[in-house]
Amino acid sequence: MKIGVIGTGYVGLVTAVCLADLGHKVAGTDVIPEKIDKASRGIAHIYEPGLEDLLRKNLKKGNLSFIHDLAKTIQSSDVLFVSVNTPQREDGSADMTYVEGVSRKIADNLNSYKLIVEKSTVPVKTSNWIKRTISLHKKKEVDFDVASNPEFLREGSAVSDFLNPDRIIIGVETERARDILLSIYRKFKNKILVTNIDTAELIKHASNSFLALKISYINLISDLCEKTDADIELVSKGMGLDPRIGSHFLRAGVGYGGSCFPKDIKALARIGEDFGVDVNLLKEAERINLRRSELFLEKIKKALWILKDKKVAILGLSFKPQTDDIREAPSIKIIRKLLEEGSELRLYDPKAVENMRKIFPEKPPQIFYAKSSSEAIKGANALLIITEWEEFKKLDLKKVKKLMANPIIVDGRNIFEPSQVKSLGFEYYPTGRK
Ligand code: NAD
Ligand code: UGA
C-alpha cells in the first residue's frame, strides 16, 4: 500500500517520517517547494527532537520520498493523509479553504480507489463536505472513502508521541476504510478506537478544548492564590493526586498558546453555535486565557513602576519548550505591550529566535536578540521567564544576580523555588504563589 501525505508542515512531516518508520512506503508533498527540497535532502524545516535522524534513516532505506507534484502524489497513492493547515478565520471558525483545495485536486486526479484520511483538525461534519466535493468534481467513476484519523501529537515531543500513542482514533463508515487503517496502525492494535466519522472529528476538538479549559481553570485558581496565602504549585499537586482529575495540564502561567488550542477552542465554539448549542463555557476559558498576558504585564509594572527605557530581559519566546514554533506564543503579546510602553528588550530563546526576528526585526536598543541567557540578562532591570526551557531552570542565580542591574525576576512559569531565589536577594514575582 502506498501512502501519500499532503501538506508536510509540523504534522505532515512527522506523519510521513513516522509512517515510513513503521515500514510503509510514503511520499510527502507540499505547496511550499523549499519544504520538499529540504526534506528530500534529509533536513527538517522545523525543530523537533529526533525528527531529522528518523527522516534521514528512512530516506536512506528508500521507503520515504518527497515530491513537488501533488497530482502525481495523488495518482500514485492508495491512501492519502491530508495534513494541510486549517487556520482560524476572523469569525473564529476553521478555514477549510486548503482542505477544499486538496479535495478538488483529489477529484481531478482520482484514477483508482483511494482512502482519503483527514489528519488535519477539522470541524465535525467536514467529511461530508470532502465526499461531496470529490463526488461533484471527479473525472472518473472510481470509488473512494473518507476517514478521520485525528492527530494528538504535541510539538516538542511529536516523534515520540506519534510512535508511542495513548490512543489512535479511527473514524470510518466502510469496512474497507476500517481495514486499511487497522492495517496501517497494526503495531498499535491495542490502542485503537474505531468510531463513526463525526465522533472521530469531534474527539479531536473536544480533547484540545478540554485541555485548554483545564489550563484556564488552573489559571483562575492561580489568581485566587495570589490574593491569599495559598500556593498554586501545591494546589495543583493536591488536585492532581486525585486520579479523577489527573496531574497533567495543571501548570499555571502566562496562558496557553500554540497553533492549536487558541484556534481549536474557538472553532469548537463556532460549531456549537452553528448547531444551536450553548458554548459559553468555552468562551469563558478563552477570555481567561486572553487576560493572562495583561495580568503578567501588571505584575511587571508592579515590579518596575515605569516601563519606559527599562531594560527587560526575556527568556523564552517559543509557545512552549522544545520547539521553535512561536505561533500564538504568549511572548508575542507581552513583547508587543512592552514595546508600546517603551521598554528596551533583550530577548533569548534556544530555538525560536529566527522565527521571532520575522515578527520583531532586530532594532537595538528597543529589540536586541542575545545569543545566550547571560547576554540577555546583562544590565537588565528585570528578567522575565515566559517559556520554561530546561536550560533556564539550571541558571546559576548567583551569576544572574551579578549580571543584572536590578535583581528582579517575574516568572510566568514558576521555574524557580521562591525561598531559594529570595534568599539570594532577588525580588521575585512568581505565578500564583509568593
Ligand atoms: P502547518 O502550517 O505547519 O502545515 C500545513 C502544511 O500544509 C504547510 O506546509 C502548507 O504549505 C501545506 N499545504 C497547504 N495547502 C496545501 C496543498 N493544497 N497541497 C499541499 N500542501 C499544502 O500546520 P500543522 O501545524 O502541521 O497543522 C496541520 C493540521 O494539523 C491543522 O489542522 C492542525 O490543527 C492539526 N494539528 C496540528 C498539531 C501541531 O502540533 N502542530 C497537532 C495535531 C493536529
Ligand atoms: C496540543 C495538545 O497537547 C496535543 O495533544 C494536540 O495534538 C496539539 O495541541 C494540536 O492539536 O496541535 P501542543 O500545542 O503542541 O499540543 O502543546 P501543549 O503541550 O499541549 O501546550 C499547549 C500550550 O498550553 C502551551 O502554550 C503550554 O505552555 C500551555 N500549557 C500546557 C500550560 O499553560 N499549562 C499546562 O499545564 C500545560
Summarised one tens digit per residue, pLDDT across range 252-268 is 999 999 999 999 999 99
Whether residues 186 and 272 fall in one domain: no
What's the confidence (pLDDT) of residue 29? 98
Tell me which of 260, 267, 304, 410 is the catalytic residue. Answer: 260
Say how many domains are in the chain. 2
Q: Which of 195, 218, 242 is the endpoint of a domain?
A: 195
State how far the Cα of 129 lies from the Cα of 103, in Å rounded to an integer: 9
Cell numbers placing 409: 525576576
Whether residues 93 and 203 fall in one domain: no
Whether residues 157 and 238 fall in one domain: no
18 is catalytic: no
What's the confidence (pLDDT) of residue 345? 98
Asked if 432 contacts 414 with a C-beta cutoff of 8 angstroms, the reply is yes
Which of 15, 18, 30 for mutating ligand 1's site (highest number of atoms within 8 Å of CB)?
Answer: 30
The whole domain housing 382 covers 197-434
Whether residues 46 and 99 fall in one domain: yes
State how far the Cα of 208 lies from the Cα of 210, in Å rounded to an integer: 5
What's the confidence (pLDDT) of residue 159? 98
Q: Which of 140, 174, 195 is the endpoint of a domain?
A: 195
Is residue 50 left, alpha or beta, with left meaning phi > 0 and alpha meaning psi from -120 to 50?
Answer: left
Whether residues 274 and 411 fall in one domain: yes
Query: Cα-flanking dihedrals φ and ψ of residue 82, to 5°?
Result: -100, 110
Whether residues 261 and 393 fall in one domain: yes
| CB distance 387 to ligand 1 below 6 Å | no
Cα of 261 from ligand 2 centre, angstroms: 7
**Residue 104 CA: which ligand is closest?**
1
Whether residues 206 and 165 fall in one domain: no
For residue 194, give the nearest of 169, 177, 176, 174 by alpha carbon.
169
Whether residues 150 and 253 fall in one domain: no
Cell numbers placing 423: 534568599
Asked if 406 contacts 381 with a C-beta cutoff of 8 angstroms, the reply is yes
Q: Cα angle at 354 between 350 and 355, to 5 degrees?
A: 105
Q: Which of 153, 179, 195 is the endpoint of a domain?
A: 195
Whether residues 227 and 315 fall in one domain: yes
List % helix, strand, coil for the chain (3-state, nearest 5): 45, 15, 40
Cα of 166 from ligand 2 centre, angstroms: 15
pLDDT along the chain (434 residues), means of 10: 96 98 98 98 96 98 97 98 96 96 98 98 98 97 97 96 98 98 97 98 98 98 98 98 98 97 97 97 98 97 98 98 95 98 98 98 97 98 98 98 98 98 98 97
Cell numbers placing 431: 505565578
| CB distance 319 to ligand 2 below 6 Å | yes
State how far the Cα of 248 lies from the Cα of 416, in Å rounded to an integer: 19
3-state secondary structure of 346: strand
Q: What is the CATH number of the domain that holds 108?
A: 3.40.50.720
Whether residues 184 and 221 fall in one domain: no
Whether residues 40 and 117 fall in one domain: yes
